[in-house]
Structure 1
Amino acid sequence: MLLSDQAGQAAATKIPRPATLRESVIEAIQELIVSSQLKPGQHLVESELAELLGVSRQPVREALQQLSGEGWVDLHPGQGAFVHVPTLEEADQLLAVRTLLETESARLAAEHAGEGGVRQLRSLCARGIAAVQSDDVDSAVALNSELHALVTALSGNAVLAELASQVARRVRWYHTPVARQRGMASWDEHTALIDAIEAGDGQRAARIMREHTEHTRASYMEQRENDPVEPAPKPVRRRRPRTPQAG
């Protein structure tokens, strides 16, 4: 029997492969964008990125091409690459989808988390509160993402977890600028959410998660309205100077 004939009988174990240099560069640039070390609208110079990441310009060029296709980078002929400036509409739509996914995750987590899951959630929450108290915004944002990912994992729904993971990094990008503004209120909401999950109250957990994610969505939209990001300049075509004709 051919392997192709056996495909429907059992799933083959995938052999893990090391990340290519290009994939590593893509991951690194995404992290720089998500953590706001590279700002929306910022010009991305290949040589500077290559020096920063300790690689040649070729994998940086390839990474920028792929990131452009994924909506992280905008390429302007004659101008170069710029960090994408999310429109208010695309940010609002993505954060709305996040609310739908994570509300259902919270409801299911209340049914399936168990004592071990609740302990993990409380540990992350305690570390997040400590990060806020010490004004460590980067750690608070990372722990916020971990906590939300854990709630989704505890839902027991693998499809839901996969969908949530597809938007998680971009959600973190939108959350970073408002993390300090949300401050302790966000972690008070996390505490209330964990209490509802521990009590097995799916409806309350869903309501708290819905309100929690909507607060972040509203904070981001308010921040963008008060401090709009200027889009990257449009390409400017420069005329070549005329070559003087011999007299």
Structure 2
Amino acid sequence: MESLFDDSALPREPVQLRSGAWHYPHWLSEEAQAWIARRFFEWGRGPVPPHQTLINQNPMSVQSLCLGWHWNPSGYSRTADDINGAPVAPMEQWLVDLGRRAVFDATGDAQKAAGYTPDAAIVNYYDIDAVMGMHQDADEKINAPVVSLSIGDSANFRLGNNVNRNQPWQDVRLASGDLFVFDGASRFAYHAVTKVFPGTAPARCPLAAGRINITLRQTGLS
């Protein structure tokens, strides 16, 4: 039986929320969502397990794992020195290809898409109580797009301004399969996830509950 609350089944159109910020609903097929969810479980058995990153000695409510580069509040590294010291799992080429297609579909800029080479993926798992406070993605050394993919339960995504964590902001409901791209004038916008809506994932999603978010980044590091 299909979920009565499956947000991904609602008719929604791609929209540019403001310069450099694109929301593209239904971007991933249900088959792709299921395949990526299964990869998430495989990544969880990798060298660095899902973990709650410490921010000012307080654990985040999301569980994270990384590919390509390991991220913690001090920046990027090739080893997870704050967890177990293991080398981070490698970036996977299909994610690079997916990122390039996302940038092209959002921006329509073939040259920008061809030059986009994400070398880090930060994968966050939100249970139904997890949130993420207002923050910037600002540890990268170059101003390349950030590609964000959502799988599982829907979430309230808050897109803020470029200056601080305060208003103005706007709230967007991200459903399973949705794409969000930050670029240009919105590349360093503050943003947050304020709520996960239980029971809103597609019925055939392998994720029993909660939400996976994958952000692809080009770090500019060597």
TM-score, length of structure 1 as denominator length: 0.26
Q: Which has the larger radius of gyration?
A: 1
Higher relative contact order (CA 8 A, sep 6+): 2
Higher helix share: 1
TM-score, length of structure 2 as denominator length: 0.28
Higher strand share: 2
